[in-house]
Every structure is written in structure tokens, then in C-alpha cells.
A and B are shown apart, each in its own frame.
Chain A
Amino acid sequence: LSGTPAGKDVPMRAVFNLYVVVIAVGLVAAVLVALTDP
């Protein structure tokens, strides 16, 4: 996304980051549960 005029890519970056966070949270939660579920 760099190369896009400054400030213009903020909304696109926001949805990109949203998806990265959702996937990362899901993965971390799944691994933690698998390793700690009694």
C-alpha cells in the first residue's frame, strides 16, 4: 500500500488490519484453548 498518496490508503489499511486481527485472534484463541482446556 505504500506508494499511495499519503493518507489516502488509511481506510483500506483499516479493513486489511481488521482481517489480520480477526484471523490472529482466532488462531491464538484456538491454540490457547487446545493447550489449556482441562
Chain B
Amino acid sequence: MKTFIRENSLSLFFASIFLATIFAQSFAGQHAYNAELVHHDGSPVSWATYVTSAHYWGAVMENWQSEFLQFTLFIGATIWLVQKGSNESKRLQDIGIETDEQQKVGAHTVPRSPAWAKAGGLRRRVYENSLLLTMTTIFLATWLAQSLNHWHVFNDDQREHGATTVSWGRYLLDPDFWERTLQNWQSEFLAVGTMAVFTIYLRQRGSPESKPVGAPHDETASSG
């Protein structure tokens, strides 16, 4: 058990703080939602009602989609785009999908290579893009879920104010949907760009997200 925790501490740490914060979000969200309801002469809802509401899941999905978009773009963009001196970039001479030898496929597999890497044809094509395909799928699915939940919330608000409700397709063109979407995207893009640039000149000893402390500023991809 001790070995399991030590060998998987990074993913277990993030899973734990994820569960703690999504749970905390539900309580904070319930209180904020109830304050709004009372302000509009409505009755407060229970925690159970709130965590099964479109209001809660819209907020959760809104943030999920932007995080998965961030990594989707980062994975895809770093195949072809580089930043000299950055630890988040590959070396300048490695731009592109790289050779079979570098990627350990085809004639260059090793005995412990994954079975799908050893396979040829479509199976290998799928496997060599599986990370990007999966992250893209999760991004699109969470963005869809965000739109469906916020469409629901939007129409509730319309009804409450005696305005006409809108179709899902019409909601996708509404500023409400795009304001919620873009406010998340802009922060993710800034954070990713910042990581790419800050790792040129700044260091964190011991972190694989940083170059070694003594690595030259113009050395790219120092920690591999």
C-alpha cells in the first residue's frame, strides 16, 4: 500500500484535491444560488437539489471544457510549434511528428513497447494519436454538456423575466454562451503561454516542469 501511494502520489494528490474542491464548490454554489433565489422572492433549495441542477453542472462543465481544451491545444501545438529556451517546447530540430526511430515504432520498437505501438496500419495510427484524440473528445463532450446546462439555466431566467425561451441552436449564438466560454479560454491560453515563456528564464529546483537550475537560458527542452 505504501509503495502504491508513493509510486502514484502525483495522480492521487490531484484526484484528492479535485474531489475536495468539487465537493466544496457544491456547498459554496448552493449558498450563492440560494442567496439569489431569496433575493428574487424564491425558496432556498437543498444541497441534494442543487447538485442535481443545471446551475451546478453548467458551472462544473464550463471549467472542465476549458482545461481540456488547454491540454488539447498544448499537445497538438507542441508537435509543430517551438519556443527556443523553453522547457515546455521540444528541441527546434525536432519540429513535426518525428522519425520512427525517435518514436520507437515500426522497426524500432522495444520488447516492452505497447502492443498497439508494435502493430501496423490503423491500430498504430489510432494509438500514436490516442492522447490528442481522447483529450479532444473530452473537450468537445464537456463543452456540449456546458452548453446544454447553461441553455437550461438561460431559459429558466428568460421565463422568470417573462421573456421567450430560445432553442439550443439559438443559445449557441447568444453572448451568454460565448462570454462564459471565452472568459475561461482566455485565462487558459495566458497560463499556457506564460509557462512556455517563463521556463526560459525562471527555475524551480527539483521540478520536471522546470529546466535544471544551471541550464543555460537558450537551452530548449532541458528536462526532456
Contact = CB atoms under 8 A, between A and B. Distances in A.
How extensive is the interface on chain B, given as a class? Answer: 20 to 34
A7 B146 CA distance: 39
B196 interface: no
How extensive is the interface on chain A, given as a class? Answer: 20 to 34
Nearest to A16: B11
B111 interface: yes
Contact of A30 (B12, B18, B60): B60
Contact of A11 (B8, B56, B111, B148): B8
Interface in B1-57: 4, 7-8, 11-12, 15, 18, 52-54, 56-57
B114 A27 contact: no
Contacts, number: 68
Contacts of B149: 30, 33-34, 37
A1 B114 contact: yes
Q: Is the interface of A mostly helix, strand, loop or mixed?
A: helix
A18 B15 contact: yes
B145 A31 contact: yes
Contact of A37 (B7, B52, B118, B142): B52
A11 to B, nearest CB: 5
A31 B15 contact: no
Interface in A1-38: 1-5, 11-12, 14-15, 18-19, 22-23, 26-27, 29-31, 33-35, 37
Interface of A: 1-5, 11-12, 14-15, 18-19, 22-23, 26-27, 29-31, 33-35, 37
